[in-house]
Amino acid sequence: MINELDNTILAAACETGAFMALGAVPTLPKEFTSANTTAEVEVSPDDRFVYASNRGHDSIAVFGRNQPAGTLTRLQHAPCGGKIPRHFKIAPGGKWLLCAHMESHTLSVLRIDLEAGTLSPPSCTVPSPSPICVLFAR
């Protein structure tokens, strides 16, 4: 779960229909003290990595997921390529992350390293008036 106002991700397990909190981790670097809220969280197709957007820090936080325990370890804060990352989506196949920026009115494409889970700098940024959601047709 992403916690929009306190800039954390809460890892949880579901056992017999009840959630059990496994721990919360911050989505921001310790040295960042400006205003920020989170918006989107997504798990990689192989369940090994978790991605979260920071609106204010203008980044995607990347976490490794300890699969047996479900806990998260911060791997990276990647620049998202625009201002206020409102939404992002991992493309089918898991190689690309597309990020919609609400204030800069752009979409950026970031490559996902499938082994490490980390994101490359944006390889392409294009104009898009007021993007708020990214979806892929099936």
pTM of the model: 0.95
Q: Exposure of 45 by Cβ count < 10 A (0-12 exposed, 13-18 middle, 19+ buried)?
A: middle
Distance CA 88, CA 58 (A): 12
Say if 62 falls within a structural domain. yes
Say if 136 falls within a structural domain. no
Domain with 9 in it? 2-127
* Total structural domains within the chain: 1
Say if 138 falls within a structural domain. no
| 131: nearest Cα among 115, 116, 109 | 109
- Please check the confidence at residue 14 and state whether its pLDDT lies above 90: no
The pLDDT of 53-74, averaged and rounded, is 94
The pLDDT of 48-66, averaged and rounded, is 97
Say if 134 falls within a structural domain. no
For residue 13, the model assigns a pLDDT of 86
Say if 10 falls within a structural domain. yes
For residue 46, the model assigns a pLDDT of 95
Q: What is the pLDDT of residues 71-96, one digit of tens each?
A: 899 999 999 999 999 999 999 999 99
Lowest-pLDDT range, 56-60, 64-68, 108-112? Answer: 64-68
Where are the extended beta strands (E) located within 27-95? 37-43, 49-55, 59-65, 72-79, 85-90
Which CATH number fits the domain that encloses residue 46? 2.130.10.10
Token pair for 105: 């009115």
